[in-house]
Structure 1
Amino acid sequence: MRLLVVEDDLPLAESLVALLTSSGYAVDCVHDGASAEALVAVEQFDLVILDLNLPQMDGLSLLRAMRARANPAAVMILTARGAAEDRVRGLDLGADDYMAKPFDVREFEARVRSLLRRQAGLRSATVTLGAVTLDLTTRQFSGADQPLDLPPRERALLELLLTRAGKVVTKEAIVQSLTSLDDMLSDNAIEQYISRLRRRIAPFGLGLRAVRGIGYLLEKAADRG
């Protein structure tokens, strides 16, 4: 999952990026509304965490511009402006959630997980295919009811594929979801991660099929005939 933090308080921005990165998300960060508007116009994000009091372009103007362009990213407003009229205005303009500063980190993390579940079209807190289950609350995998430990990049890849099981996930979508602007992920690297992940999930009845020229499909091994 790829996230964008838009926050002009530099220490807070750094803390949010560190927190979200440690949870396995690909995170970009900008510190003013104009930079954020330019970035969301050319990059795809699953979730934008948006302050309101921003230089160059305020958060509500950015939100209005995003929704006017039908940008599908979920938006969580995270701001010191906690008055009811501010909440109502933000939500009416298209925010998916509104959280006032100061905030509890555990609640913040739970709200991020909830928004990303909704963004992926998932109603349950768990996703299961074959003998592999992903707990979306803890973001931990199990295989045949035993913990399934994966390196961070493979874990993020399996989460993406599992939440879109039965659908072809393009290489472009993999790059967008797994990397921030500071990362590089070549086609060869993707193929290596796919190969490693394919070996790890095979014992649990899952297969990863390459769809030529498009991407990859996660499916039960039996479904391949």
Structure 2
Amino acid sequence: MKVLIIEDTAELAEALIDFFVIGGHSADSAGDLASAYDFLSVSHFDLILLDIMLPDGDGRSLLRSVREKNDNIPIIVMTAKSEISDRIDVLDIGADDYIVKPFEFAELEARCRAVLRRQNGQNQIKLTFGKVNLFPLLAMLEFGDEQQQLRNRELRLLEIFFGSPKILFSKEQLTDRLFSISEDISENAIEVYIARIRKKLSGSGLEITTVRGLGYRLTEQNT
């Protein structure tokens, strides 16, 4: 999962980045609306955490802008306001959820999982394609009597493929979804992770196929 954190309190933003990175995700942070729009113009994000009170404006303007473009990216609003009218307001504008500051990171993580489940229409406990099961919360791949434990980036890459099987992803799309903008990525990083998950899928009946010059996709063998 790739997260954009829009928060002007540096300490909170840094703590959130550390929290998501430790969990195996990638995260970028924007301290104001202008920076947030810049991030959204150049990269794909799976989730936005949005503060309302920002130095250059109201975070609700960004929320409205995203929804007016018919972009259904999940957005969780982080607000210091606890009044019911404020909560109703952000939900009516298009927020998927809200959380009141200060909050426990465990609660935030649970809310992130919930909105992603609703958005994807999937059971995030188990993703299945062919005869293979992917368990994101356990970081485990299962087929037949075989179980393969996954490292963080292997898991995130397989989540992308299992979420959209048979769909072709370019190297650029995979890089964008797997790494934050601030990370220094080698040119062959995606090839390295593709090679790793191909080994993990060996004997499963699934394979990552290469479409030369275009990208990769997850398919069933002999189909």
- TM-score by length of structure 2 reads 0.89
Range 38-47 or range 4-13, more displaced: 38-47
Change (3 A) 1:110 1:46: same
Distance in 2 (alpha carbons) for counterparts of 1:177 and 1:53: 28
Unaligned runs of 5+ in 2: none
- Helix, strand or coil for the counterpart of 1:217? strand
- For residues 143-154 of structure 1, the aligned pairs below 5 Å read 143-144=142-143, 147-154=147-154
Distance in 1 (alpha carbons) for counterparts of 2:124 and 2:174: 23
Pairwise CA RMSD of aligned residues? 2.1
Q: How much does 1:36 deviate?
A: 1.0
Indicate yes or no: 2:146 matched with 1:142.
no
- Helix, strand or coil for the counterpart of 1:8? coil
Distance in 2 (alpha carbons) for counterparts of 1:175 and 1:57: 31
How many residues are paired up?
222
- Helix, strand or coil for the counterpart of 2:188? helix
Q: How much does 1:83 deviate?
A: 1.1
Contact between 1:34 and 1:57, CA under 8 Å: does it hold in 2? no
Aligned equivalent of 1:113:
113
Range 158-167 or range 117-126, more displaced: 117-126
Range 2-11 or range 209-218, more displaced: 209-218
- Helix, strand or coil for the counterpart of 1:128? strand
Q: How much does 1:170 deviate?
A: 2.5
Contact between 2:141 and 2:150, CA under 8 Å: does it hold in 1? no
Q: Percent same amino acid at aligned positions?
A: 38
Distance in 1 (alpha carbons) for counterparts of 2:16 and 2:85: 26
Aligned equivalent of 1:34:
34
- TM-score by length of structure 1 reads 0.88
Indicate yes or no: 2:162 matched with 1:171.
no
Change (3 A) 1:58 1:139: farther
Aligned equivalent of 1:161:
161
Q: How much does 1:157 deviate?
A: 1.0
Q: How much does 1:139 deviate?
A: 5.0
Q: How much does 1:118 deviate?
A: 3.2
Distance in 1 (alpha carbons) for counterparts of 2:114 and 2:163: 14
Unaligned runs of 5+ in 1: none
